[in-house]
Structure 1
Amino acid sequence: MSEQKFTLYLIHHSHTDIGYTDYQEKIELHHINYIKEVIDILNAIHAGKTKWEGFKWNCESFWCVEKFLETADQSYIDDFIKYVKSGEIGLSGNYLNMTELVDYTVLNNTIARSVNSMERYSIQITSAMTADINGYGWGYADALYENGMRNLMSCIHTHHGYHPLFKKQMPFYWQSPKGNKLLVWNGEHYLIGNELVCNEYDYEYTIHDGLMHEHLSSFEMAEKRIEAYVRVLREQQHPYDFVPVSISGIMRDNSPASTKIIEFIHEYNAIHGQEIELQMVTLDEFFDILNQAEVEIPTYSGDWTDWWADGVGSTPNIVQHYREASRKLYAARQLDPDGKIIGKEVFDSTEYNLMFYAEHTWGYSSSIVEPWHPNVNKLDLRKSLFALKANESASRAINKITYFHGETPTSVHKELTFGAINPHDFPVIDVLNVSLESLFGHKHVEILEKDTGQVVPHQIGHYARGYEVNILVKLDAKQKKSYVIRDIAEPPLISAGNCAKIAVEGVNDLATTYTETLQTGSVVTPYKLENKFFRIQYEEGQGITSIYDKINGKELIKPTSKFSAFTPIYEVTPVKTTQYEERRLMGRNRKAVHTQRDIGKLLSATVLEDGLLYSRVELGYQLKGTNASSLILTAYKEIPRIDVDFRFHKTSVWEPENLYLALPFTTGYDNEEFWVEKTGTIFRPRIDQLPGTCTDFYALQDGMCYQSSNSSLIIATPDTPLIAMGDIKSHEIKLCGEEGVNNIDDVYAWVMNNFWETNFKVDLGGFHQYRYSLLLNDSNNVDEAFKTAKATNCPVLGYYSFI
């Protein structure tokens, strides 16, 4: 052992994992009372309980503090504030341990409210702590920094994941997209201290040294483990004479505080304190110590890509509702920023529910092995409730806004009109869509802008209960327009004439007819769909074989692609062991070598609609794992955009599954780069990332873009956030910064999965429909491209008005 003393700084906390060990309401009460128990311990110390002197506590997430301050009596609150100011209780500015599902505005606002709530007590939060989660959107660094945080303690759980920089227990400055620098300690597992110091369990988790099988007391085991831990760090040239170690009261999530830890510290230090000392600290205290160390700290910039982003793929239906709620909240805030129409409290409550659903826990701990367990279903429904409540309140907000601007109930006594509002800070061209059960006496009509009297293109489609009125709208930033209906004469009656292009069975399949129809602007057939922007070809068995950009004269499907565009791909892994073990052994791959893969085969093509605004065709596929599967292609005639709705009936399967859509796209130019938008940032995957981070999959916000100096090809993803990159077969995992990891690679929409062996939702069965949009943009500005994606996912608000 070196003569220089080494210090283990113990950060005592309770890991906030909401819905993993019990239902959310009970965990909330637990954490409130954990803080009360900590205050009782500190009060006992100050009353003379000397054997607990040195005890300190850290509130891992601010949510626990928020709930405590909302419910505790004043005496507890006063003591809490006193102990925070004395440095005996540490605060974290991180609200909850999040996934990348949450958008930047909601994340930033929530952190700001947390920080601001402590200002009335003259307390400034400067540090944040996360535990369990394996990464963050790059914008998280800005959300922390711009709300006063300067330090982040990251306690990564490398279960199916990994720490960045190829090394843990080291600091670095994380430079944000805006250039801010956040001091990060790239730490150990959040329960490593329980294995080192106070292990009262008969299994090994992060330390596999075999001591569990020795006949040792808990203290003797701790002595050996602490000595070995420090020795290995020194052998690996650890540059500090200290290291932080997080520890909970018991080796479990959502656990209470424990005075046994400080009692152990006193006993250990009395024997070994001259060589290795243990000391409890708060987050701020640790970072003060780190800042005083004379070791140069490196700076890294880039996305800290989350290995645990795939949880959102296990509940795709609810995530779809969540993302709709997030967009509606954005639109409401754009059009009523001060809450004068809807009430500011609606923003706060919707953001709370969005944050709570996007918290990292994706279900009860035995969701895979005991899917019938009451807690599994109860906690799945409880978690879903947060997304549904967010959607409900955001929908109510939008309804209030459209009513404020002129929406009315239907009426048989008044005249039908339509309204459109652009919620964005930039102009848009869009197709307004309004559903009506009746056209209220109108049959043959034209639609006019009310203010100018100009006739605008429209198309009336159908849905199960009535009509879809689609109107081409062009709106400036936040502009509102009204549209009126004018009846026109019934078109002339057609007759047989001298040419029977439509045969007596009612089919017109002559090539000359298709050519003549295309000359009018577009054509859609069972073989192709073409307009002035695109020529889309599809073939039996192969699917969509070509999407040709007629504006730039470029093929948009990569010639080296393994799959046709939007081809569905289903994977299932036969269970050779148990449902748990099969998934555990997949490691970071999310699949096995023996995973079975089925490629969707195109069986049919049915023309659905062809009008002034768009053409629509349904492509039917044969795909294992589904009872029915199809793509609905909608190509717009005045906008360079193709909507693709993936509609399928998924079978219920217990085995590990994945479902993908191939996205084999390119601008056709050699100088292109691939960009994605995540929480608070736009970046190039595999380039603008921290070294050593995940390169296999990403959770997006509005979508992705291939950007060249000539044009942009945008893929908007309103419903499913996950994409996979590279080989979707089981493979050796390569990390960012390693050879052979390229920005341009195969890309897939990762529609759903039930991979994780503990708490993912196992049953993906049911009816599903998810939308993707492919758009062209002649700008070479990537920010403009993602504005297009935003406007596509969050369309113009439309409503009817009877006046």
Structure 2
Amino acid sequence: MPAIEQILLIGHTHHDVGYTNSPRIVDEHHRRIVAEVLRLAEADATPRPDQFRWTFEVARPVLRFLDTAEAPEREALRRLVTEGRIAVTGGYLNMTQLPSDFELDAAYDALGALRAAGLPVRTEQHGDVNGIAWGTVEAARRAGLSRLVMALNPDHGRPPYEQPTGFWWEGPGGHRIFVWLSTHYGFGEEWGIVDGDVVAAERNIAAFVEHLSGRPDYPYDLALVHAGNDNRWPTPLFLDVVRHWNSVPGRPPMRTATIDEALDLLEAQASRADVPVVRGEWSDWWAHGHGSTAREVAVYREARSFARAAQTSLGLTVLRRAGTPALAHVLGYRRGPVRLRDEREVVADLARVDEDLLLFGEHTWGSWETYSKPHSTFSHSHWNAKAGFAYQAYDLARDLAVEGMFRLAASAPDAVTGDGVLVVNPTERDRVEPVDVEIDGARRGRLVARAPAFGVAVLPRPEPLPAGRPGREITKGAYRAVVDPARGGVVSLVDLRDGRELVDRDVAHGLGAIVVETVPSDCDHPMMRSGKDFHPDFPGPDFDRHVARGDADPEITESDDLATITWRAAPFGLPTATMTLTLYREVDVVDLDVHLVKPARLEPESILVAFPFAVADPEFLMETAGAVYAAGTEQLPDTSMDWYSIQHAIGVTNRRHGILWGSFDVPLVQVGGFHTGLWARTLDVAGGQVNSWLMNNLHFTNFQASQDGTRRYRYRFAASGSAVTAEQVRVYGRNLLEPLQARQYAGPVAAGGSGLRVEPADRLLAEVRPVGDGAVRVRLRNIGAEPVAAEVCWDGPGVTGGGPVTVPGHGLAEVTLHRSRAVAPSTPTTRAR
């Protein structure tokens, strides 16, 4: 254990998109902070320990600054970064676990603008949030980042190791990044540093150094101290702390530094020491906050599905470039586009959607008084701005997706008039799956759609279902289901292919049951006095769980293609809810829709939808951004096992059989049973239960104190007669993220494939996106551990590029296709990452 030989003080501001003020205001202030930092640095040009140095904690404000900066400002920034006076980090914002891998890639892609401006970016700094997706490791390495600083907030969770320390985090593909698990950045204010309170700072830093010197597991000879806090405007006051500290002889010297310089020193010392190497998910304790705004999170997830569909259909249209879409004369949502965007507009609008998705997926949910003053105008205004990111993304992505459908349908010289349900498949595989569609603006219909890879189909409109009849049992295709409203849901679901019962009958409630958790009225748990004490240091509280039950017979409707059973139940303290289970003749999936009306309530509560699957000795394979991990075993130590924020899919499996389960709208789950408030260090599994955690208000600061609203929450699952694999989970989740797009349509249609082929389609996930000047980028994601020799082909004239490329295990490669009338290279443009 070396003695502490120096103290590095890192000046920065913690970047919240909101919290201290409205996101509408804060985002612009952060852009202006860049110019203020340049002014302060230029005014302090003499090298010395207390010279002004600064780290931009996230990349977004610097990117926004570069958009409008004059040449002298850009040059000053480049020079100060080159001199080591300023560091620019590589995280776009401080993100939650909501964003998917394509959103993370959009964030990392933005770093190209920094490097083009001469700004090296090597480190990602992440503050406040208690976790980050495992796929971040591979994505960060592809983006040229090899270090991650996690300044964890200790509220509502635990760090994987004592803060501070360092370790190597290994990604699914074997790449590693060095992680500095730092102290909470808020100590910069709490200890008096950012305000120049030299007495308080001296006392707190001395205690910190003494503690580090006594730790046998701390193999570093330096102490890193944050001089920052939430949205702090940069000032030189923290430099007084350096001068005061160094005025006392006998102490380890203190100096300012950037995060890059600090990580250079810490990483070098870690390389010589025996520090841990860990694999797995950094499951976020703070993710329960995603359940504080169920409706807006669902809107955000819809928006990104539209975004993926839009970029694919519009990219394919660039390559085909033929036909005349059926334009409308009214700006109406049941009609087609009234005009077509040119290529530059398409590229710009897709980038706007990316930006809004990332701003919503950022970690700041509300203001610092949202929980303490839930009815204040400021709290409502703040949430309006935050929620606006989801709705802006939804509006624009949906409009782009509709335009893409109309353009792709007509984009061939042999298009003929079609009238029915237009279906677009935005993925590399042929798909057969249920779709919902609005018919004549008056009813919704459901049908099983078939569509070729990257292709178009037109299907007959679904007929209205016949009148319902009372009953408790339906059989269709692969399954037979029995519903008992008195037990809240499905009490038997048999896979007719092998006779296996899929519902655990030892659980007291049925599948699809709504379970409401409340705190007993006489509860004396500390969280009842302070929401901050819903925390591992105070296990509990014990929740009462109320299963929603009904007494009326379910209603059955049936056609040749599908059968539905609908039942109603009364959740505790809520209006009656409606659940509908649907079975299909042609496909082996089961759909469950939950229609819920939620009044506002300030008392602590949770609402879950239960899926008690009969899978003995299960393993839970969880889809996170860019990876699949085994809950409980492929996680960093002490990360959240009470709840998880997934992308869309889970595999519930043993060595014999399993279930593929997914949610379109809801990211939060508890697996193996109910775990709220356990603060468990190991995953206690009572059975194959997946509990979808719709909503909760177990918070204390900026998450919403209550929520209300009416919404349908959608689930899809399927039985597997063999063990479920991580690759299957990955594909299943992607298909929920990118469902077949369907809408009623009358106009020109060229049914069939578009001309784009990706091979081998069963080992890759492909993303298509127009990038301007007649170019279309195809990104290939390898869902397995072994490299894949892939090929991207265009079957038709007028397109150059494409060709073979090797996609690394759990990695990514790019192939660019060019419309021949655009200026394009004559050889394939490929890049493996």
Q: Same fold (TM over 0.5)?
A: yes
Residue in 2 that maps onto 1:261: 238
Secondary structure (helix, strand or coil) at the match of 1:474 reads strand
Residue in 2 that maps onto 1:167: 162
For each residue in 1:570-591, what CA deviation from the matched residue of structure 2 results, as whole angstroms up to 9, or x when unmatched? 1233587999834222224999
Equivalent residue letter for 1:44? A
- d(CA) in 1 for partners of 2:509 and 2:462? 48
- Cα offset for 1:20? 0.6
Structure 2's unaligned 5+ residue stretches are: 322-340, 412-416, 748-833
Secondary structure (helix, strand or coil) at the match of 1:332 reads helix
- d(CA) in 2 for partners of 1:635 and 1:278? 68
Residue in 1 that maps onto 2:805: none
Residue in 1 that maps onto 2:403: 400
- d(CA) in 1 for partners of 2:722 and 2:164? 44
Question: Structure 1 residues 425 and 269 mapped into 2: Cα distance closer, same or farther (>3 Å)?
Answer: same
Residue in 2 that maps onto 1:56: 53
- d(CA) in 1 for partners of 2:565 and 2:21? 47
Q: Which moved more, 1:332-341 or 1:51-60?
A: 332-341
The answer to whether 1:757 aligns with 2:700 is yes
Residue in 1 that maps onto 2:312: 334
Residue in 2 that maps onto 1:381: 384
Question: Structure 1 residues 570 and 507 mapped into 2: Cα distance closer, same or farther (>3 Å)?
Answer: closer
- d(CA) in 2 for partners of 1:197 and 1:3? 27
Asked if 2 retains the 8 angstrom alpha-carbon contact of 1:651 and 1:764, the reply is yes
Residue in 2 that maps onto 1:642: 590
Equivalent residue letter for 1:631? M
- Cα offset for 1:400? 1.1
How many positions carry a matched residue from both structures? Answer: 708
The answer to whether 1:276 aligns with 2:252 is yes
1:633 to 581, 599, 607: 581
Asked if 1 retains the 8 angstrom alpha-carbon contact of 2:613 and 2:687, the reply is no
Secondary structure (helix, strand or coil) at the match of 2:612 reads coil
The answer to whether 1:182 aligns with 2:181 is no
Equivalent residue letter for 2:127? A
Residue in 2 that maps onto 1:79: 76
1:240 to 220, 224, 227: 220
- Cα offset for 1:127? 0.7
Equivalent residue letter for 2:82? K
Q: Which moved more, 1:12-21 or 1:621-630?
A: 621-630
Residue in 2 that maps onto 1:522: none
- d(CA) in 2 for partners of 1:716 and 1:681? 15
Structure 1's unaligned 5+ residue stretches are: 202-217, 409-413, 438-464, 492-505, 509-524
- Cα offset for 1:351? 0.6
Asked if 2 retains the 8 angstrom alpha-carbon contact of 1:685 and 1:743, the reply is no
Asked if 1 retains the 8 angstrom alpha-carbon contact of 2:316 and 2:408, the reply is no
Asked if 2 retains the 8 angstrom alpha-carbon contact of 1:632 and 1:644, the reply is yes
Residue in 2 that maps onto 1:223: 202
Equivalent residue letter for 1:68? F
Residue in 1 that maps onto 2:266: 290
- Cα offset for 1:471? 3.9
- Cα offset for 1:620? 0.9
Equivalent residue letter for 2:645? A
Question: Structure 1 residues 792 and 225 mapped into 2: Cα distance closer, same or farther (>3 Å)?
Answer: closer
Residue in 1 that maps onto 2:741: 797
Residue in 1 that maps onto 2:448: 472
Asked if 2 retains the 8 angstrom alpha-carbon contact of 1:368 and 1:579, the reply is no
Secondary structure (helix, strand or coil) at the match of 1:626 reads coil
Asked if 2 retains the 8 angstrom alpha-carbon contact of 1:678 and 1:700, the reply is yes
Asked if 1 retains the 8 angstrom alpha-carbon contact of 2:283 and 2:644, the reply is yes
Question: Structure 1 residues 659 and 222 mapped into 2: Cα distance closer, same or farther (>3 Å)?
Answer: same
Secondary structure (helix, strand or coil) at the match of 1:173 reads strand
Asked if 2 retains the 8 angstrom alpha-carbon contact of 1:540 and 1:601, the reply is yes
For each residue in 1:49-82, what CA deviation from the matched residue of structure 2 results, as whole angstroms up to 9, or x when unmatched? x888522100001011112222344433321221
The answer to whether 1:690 aligns with 2:636 is yes
Percentage of matched positions with identical amino acids: 22
- d(CA) in 2 for partners of 1:136 and 1:586? 21
Question: Structure 1 residues 553 and 789 mapped into 2: Cα distance closer, same or farther (>3 Å)?
Answer: farther
- Cα offset for 1:569? 0.9
Equivalent residue letter for 1:637? R
- Cα offset for 1:360? 0.3
Residue in 2 that maps onto 1:33: 32
- Cα offset for 1:317? 0.9
The answer to whether 1:784 aligns with 2:760 is no
Residue in 2 that maps onto 1:462: none
Residue in 2 that maps onto 1:209: none
Secondary structure (helix, strand or coil) at the match of 2:551 reads strand
For each residue in 1:196-224, what CA deviation from the matched residue of structure 2 results, as whole angstroms up to 9, or x when unmatched? 452769xxxxxxxxxxxxxxxx4344333
The answer to whether 1:133 aligns with 2:81 is no
- d(CA) in 1 for partners of 2:202 and 2:462? 87
Question: Structure 1 residues 240 and 119 mapped into 2: Cα distance closer, same or farther (>3 Å)?
Answer: closer
- d(CA) in 2 for partners of 1:364 and 1:158? 19
- d(CA) in 2 for partners of 1:590 and 1:63? 37
- Cα offset for 1:762? 2.1
The answer to whether 1:95 aligns with 2:92 is yes
For each residue in 1:698-725, what CA deviation from the matched residue of structure 2 results, as whole angstroms up to 9, or x when unmatched? 1111221123444441111001110023
Question: Structure 1 residues 776 and 589 mapped into 2: Cα distance closer, same or farther (>3 Å)?
Answer: farther
Residue in 2 that maps onto 1:152: 148
RMSD: 2.9
Question: Structure 1 residues 557 and 72 mapped into 2: Cα distance closer, same or farther (>3 Å)?
Answer: same
- d(CA) in 1 for partners of 2:313 and 2:74? 39
Matches within 5 A, 1:483-632: 483=459, 526-543=471-488, 544-573=490-519, 574=521, 581-588=529-536, 592-593=540-541, 595-632=543-580
2:103 to 83, 106, 114: 106
Asked if 1 retains the 8 angstrom alpha-carbon contact of 2:643 and 2:676, the reply is no
For each residue in 1:725-774, what CA deviation from the matched residue of structure 2 results, as whole angstroms up to 9, or x when unmatched? 35536654222xx4x64596643100001121111122322322211112
For each residue in 1:98-133, what CA deviation from the matched residue of structure 2 results, as whole angstroms up to 9, or x when unmatched? 1111111111122121x2112223332111101101
Asked if 2 retains the 8 angstrom alpha-carbon contact of 1:430 and 1:474, the reply is yes
Question: Structure 1 residues 802 and 259 mapped into 2: Cα distance closer, same or farther (>3 Å)?
Answer: closer
- d(CA) in 2 for partners of 1:296 and 1:583? 39
Asked if 2 retains the 8 angstrom alpha-carbon contact of 1:20 and 1:365, the reply is yes
- d(CA) in 2 for partners of 1:192 and 1:27? 22
- Cα offset for 1:693? 1.2
Q: Which moved more, 1:396-405 or 1:350-359?
A: 396-405
Asked if 1 retains the 8 angstrom alpha-carbon contact of 2:283 and 2:639, the reply is yes
Equivalent residue letter for 1:187? S
- Cα offset for 1:404? 1.1
- Cα offset for 1:422? 1.6
Asked if 2 retains the 8 angstrom alpha-carbon contact of 1:700 and 1:723, the reply is yes
- Cα offset for 1:788? 3.3
- d(CA) in 2 for partners of 1:507 and 1:596? 36
- d(CA) in 2 for partners of 1:263 and 1:420? 65
The answer to whether 1:674 aligns with 2:614 is no
Residue in 2 that maps onto 1:10: 9
Secondary structure (helix, strand or coil) at the match of 1:663 reads strand
Secondary structure (helix, strand or coil) at the match of 1:602 reads coil
Secondary structure (helix, strand or coil) at the match of 2:248 reads helix
- Cα offset for 1:370? 1.0
Q: Which moved more, 1:414-423 or 1:393-402?
A: 414-423
Equivalent residue letter for 1:194? E
Asked if 2 retains the 8 angstrom alpha-carbon contact of 1:677 and 1:700, the reply is yes
Q: Which moved more, 1:19-28 or 1:793-802?
A: 793-802
The answer to whether 1:481 aligns with 2:481 is no
- d(CA) in 1 for partners of 2:462 and 2:211? 82
- Cα offset for 1:611? 0.6
Matches within 5 A, 1:671-750: 672-726=618-672, 728=674, 732-735=678-681, 738=682, 741=684, 746-750=689-693
Secondary structure (helix, strand or coil) at the match of 1:137 reads coil
- Cα offset for 1:93? 0.1
Asked if 2 retains the 8 angstrom alpha-carbon contact of 1:172 and 1:299, the reply is yes
- Cα offset for 1:600? 1.2
- d(CA) in 1 for partners of 2:569 and 2:468? 23
Equivalent residue letter for 1:528? E
